[in-house]
Structure 1
């Protein structure tokens, strides 16, 4: 039996290494939610009624909406100025390779299958947005509408914004260039009109348009809208910005020695107080559920920097801890006043010391006179 040729192994390993590809490309912008985050609440990251893009395509729980998606896709093509299916298919085919590169996972669909998915999903979204804008009947119940709205904001349920934009401009070349009474708003304006009020509260579209950079998909747009609309992300009066760095924070032991109190706060009735003050509207019906929701917001999130509001808290804590008087007071409380009996004994000792000092002063005065 012939011995194995070491060159064969070399060739196989070389071929294997050449098959290596970067995990993410520069075009990649649509990702799977990491398992470590998803496992805490699977439903929060999974669409409820409609799949968009390849990640959830074919999900048995979402098939009921496929017929409706195809209907609105057809309505969009009929609404368009060209009314030519071939031109829309050709447009998506030219973009197919770029679209495929936008997804973090390898897409198992063939080119033809991916073109069909992207075409139907994009035209469905565009028709839905136009019906929102022109206040036309969308053929969906109000309850189903709410689910669709939020499904379209999920990270795994996205199509690239450039694909939507290409198809939109292909459909209405005249209307987008001042076509009289048939003029259409830009796709970005349509998308902003679609976003729920909770995404862009108390901020007009013009402000958002002036502060939103290149949008890659709807989730990205909602994030940028929140950043642009929130005063928390603007520089404060002291000039400290959102990306304020915390260079040092004292340890828990040092905080304890300075008199900072640590308490376990599972609910401590904070939610009830905020509800009574009108700060929180509780639709969950259970204050503990609300507290649990807020306490779980930071699970498995990694922060590169801190919000300026948190940096203010850190700075105040550091200043409190660094003050020598606070440490002395804390030491006195910890060593001599940590129980009622010790407190009483300490007060009695101080009172006795004061009396002793007074008696000493009187004795000295008597001797002098």
Structure 2
């Protein structure tokens, strides 16, 4: 049975790599139906369907192609399997360029953690973020604090964090945070099912401490997705596909995942997110303003009109206060000759009348009395 399964896998990968091996007389039942091919890839990677690597390797070494392509000698089993899953499993061609070094006999050297089966090869090639994990916290320095767990999506959103879809450049588990923008790879039914399957593989494998990268990634996502509101934010940001199921189902799924470990590889990122959330209230205020008052054109126009009205009201209040202050000053200087009408209408005449009235009374209206003779002399 293993020989039959192995022959099927080799034929499938060879037809994918070399289209000339596909049937031209009748429609190919697999390659002419993309959806079926994607489902076949998913079934091949299920843990219960794994075929020991040595079976595939021995079959491939005995394989003799009837009409070998020109580059057939350059294609070994590891490269054949890698290119097959990269074509039908990964959306971005930049992912999965981590290929082991080629030995002198043309076969690739396999690490210990990828000698088991095809799922191990796929995990190693596409989901082993060794080169993107920067200074993770060691187990010796590990203290279980809130800083080692990422805030929820809603909490980050209220703190001003922007969520964007990330196009990974080397690994499907990349998560980047830069200047208030958290970028996460797209997650749909296909990738979600595949990642869950790899989680099961990691749980049943003997990896070194902190080497279960897929489990850590899913745990990180599980900590951020806690309510249906978190799911809605990620859907609106284009990070999660709404074909994964209802929001409640997703919350329940990630809730179970978040109880399966700690995101050792993402501790530095968790600390950055927590520091950003608590660093300054300006981020939260700006996010609240944008979310509650500037999210639609009508709200934006209303907000701008309200701000302009507030500014005009303040200017009017300041103007009347200045006028009242000037009136009080003139009244103190010339209380008998300058009325409100004169001050507002004809300031020059008001001053003239006030001065005449003041001189006639023998005083200047500012608390200084003069005798008429002395005033005339002056």
**What TM bracket, shorter-length normalisation?**
0.3 to 0.5
TM-score in terms of structure 1 length = 0.41
Q: Give the structure with higher Rg (CA).
A: 2
RCO higher in 1 or 2 (8 Å CA, sep ≥ 6)?
A: 1
